[in-house]
């Protein structure tokens, strides 16, 4: 693998100011009040919110992105990726303003305008050295976009079904291959949605019911209906009954203008006002000491684990019996 190119060289004799000093500048300080770009993968050397603000401050101080990233020991390619992130509206506005301030402060206004699609990123070579611009992509209607997303969704469901069939048939290698395909389609779904103008992170963050976001909601009336339909299908197919999920004793019912839903209660905390462990009333739970409540939690965890092991043993036995019957019928 080729090593990353070194950052652009600085101007000789230029002192690197501290970020705190730049942040106190009355012209730069307002540029730092933006919502940082959310990064899907957190890396030790990644662009944290603090580093994003420092980048803007140093662009405003130097007038070029290359000088700013050099002062930070980073590369312009990473900052360019930040600028191109669909949800980075506030970051881009601060970047563009910082470029204007930095060029004015450093006497760069008289120089030729920037080349490239990201302000402040200088491109090497002349236009004659650049490859021809690709033909514009055909414009898709909203209906065509949704058709494409539905096609990807249908492919996803087929792979999920194929993975389950292979897993139940004992074909581990094939099942693991289907699982990798499922993961690939999940990534493709996200990237395609972004390419078509749907900010998947923004859409997910706005999925709410009442005062709860999607990560807090354990079930809805519709998901309960789907669960019942799955269990009916499993029964008709002669498959073993799955454990109930979620455990209704640890759900809190809610109602909003959008409909009914439930959220999961904390099954780990202790205290008089926490949700009791299974088998305990609220009155009894409130009188128990911390170590007694913790012991009750551990007992509950043990019961849940044993129920899961019992289900898996029963499922394996039924699967083996079914395979044996099918082989006997085939040999008959």
Report how far residue 37's alpha carbon sits from residue 194's, in angstroms, rounded to the nearest whole number. 15
Give the residue with greater pLDDT, 22 vs 112. Answer: 22
Instruction: Single out the residue of 80, 105, 122 nearest to residue 22, CA to CA.
Output: 105
| Confidence at residue 76, expressed as pLDDT on a 0 to 100 scale | 81
Report how far residue 172's alpha carbon sits from residue 149's, in angstroms, rounded to the nearest whole number. 29
Angle between helices 76-84 and 65-72 (to 10 degrees): 120
Q: What is the mean pLDDT of the chain?
A: 80
- Residue 133: pLDDT band (50, 70, 90) is low
Least confident segment among 120-134, 240-254, 267-281: 120-134
Instruction: Return the number of other C-beta atoms located less than 10 Å from residue 262's C-beta.
Output: 20
| Confidence at residue 275, expressed as pLDDT on a 0 to 100 scale | 86
Report how far residue 101's alpha carbon sits from residue 103's, in angstroms, rounded to the nearest whole number. 6
List pLDDT tens digits, range 217-249.
888 888 888 888 888 887 887 777 777 766 777
List pLDDT tens digits, range 8-17.
444 444 568 8
List pLDDT tens digits, range 37-96.
887 767 767 888 999 999 999 999 988 888 888 888 888 888 888 888 888 888 988 898
Q: Is 46 strand, coil or helix?
A: coil
| pLDDT at residue 125 greater than cutoff 60 | no
Residue 144 in contact with residue 196, Cβ under 8 Å?
A: no
- Residue 4: pLDDT band (50, 70, 90) is very low
Give the residue with greater pLDDT, 9 vs 315. Answer: 315
Least confident segment among 67-76, 125-134, 163-172: 125-134
Tokens of 45: 């050397």
Angle at 190 between CA 184 and CA 194, to 5 degrees: 140
Q: Is 213 strand, coil or helix?
A: strand
| Confidence at residue 120, expressed as pLDDT on a 0 to 100 scale | 72
- Residue 2: pLDDT band (50, 70, 90) is very low
Residue 82 in contact with residue 119, Cβ under 8 Å?
A: no
| Confidence at residue 56, expressed as pLDDT on a 0 to 100 scale | 93
């Amino acid at each position: 693998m080729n090593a990353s190119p070194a950052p652009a060289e600085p101007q000789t004799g230029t002192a690197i100011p501290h970020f705190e000093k730049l942040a106190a500048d009355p012209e730069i300080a307002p540029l730092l009040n933006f919502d940082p770009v959310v990064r899907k993968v957190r890396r030790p050397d990644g662009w944290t919110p603090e580093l994003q603000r420092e980048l803007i401050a140093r662009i405003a101080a130097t007038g070029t992105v290359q000088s700013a990233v050099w002062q930070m020991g980073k590369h312009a390619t990473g900052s360019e990726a930040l600028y191109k992130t669909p949800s980075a509206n506030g970051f881009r506005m601060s970047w563009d303003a910082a470029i204007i301030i930095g060029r004015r402060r450093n006497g760069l206004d008289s120089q030729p305008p920037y080349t490239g699609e990201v302000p402040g990123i200088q491109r090497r070579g002349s236009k004659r050295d650049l490859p021809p611009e690709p033909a514009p992509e055909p414009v898709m209607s909203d209906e065509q976009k949704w058709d494409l997303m539905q096609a990807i969704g249908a492919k996803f469901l087929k792979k999920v079904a194929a993975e389950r069939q292979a897993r139940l048939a004992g074909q581990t290698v094939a099942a693991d291959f289907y699982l990798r395909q499922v993961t690939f389609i999940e990534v493709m779904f996200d990237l395609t949605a972004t390419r078509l103008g749907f900010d998947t992170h923004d859409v997910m963050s706005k999925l709410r019911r009442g005062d709860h976001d999607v990560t807090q909601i354990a079930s809805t009336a519709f998901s309960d209906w789907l669960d019942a339909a799955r269990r009916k299908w499993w029964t008709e197919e002669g498959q073993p009954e799955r454990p109930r999920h979620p455990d209704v004793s640890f759900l809190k019912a809610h109602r909003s203008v959008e409909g009914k839903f439930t959220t999961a209660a904390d099954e780990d905390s202790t205290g008089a006002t926490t949700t009791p462990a299974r088998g305990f009333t609220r009155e009894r739970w409130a009188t128990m000491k911390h170590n007694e409540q913790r012991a009750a939690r551990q007992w509950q965890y043990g019961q849940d684990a044993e129920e899961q092991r019992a289900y898996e043993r029963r499922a394996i036995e039924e699967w083996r019996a079914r395979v044996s019957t099918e082989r006997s019928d085939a040999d008959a």
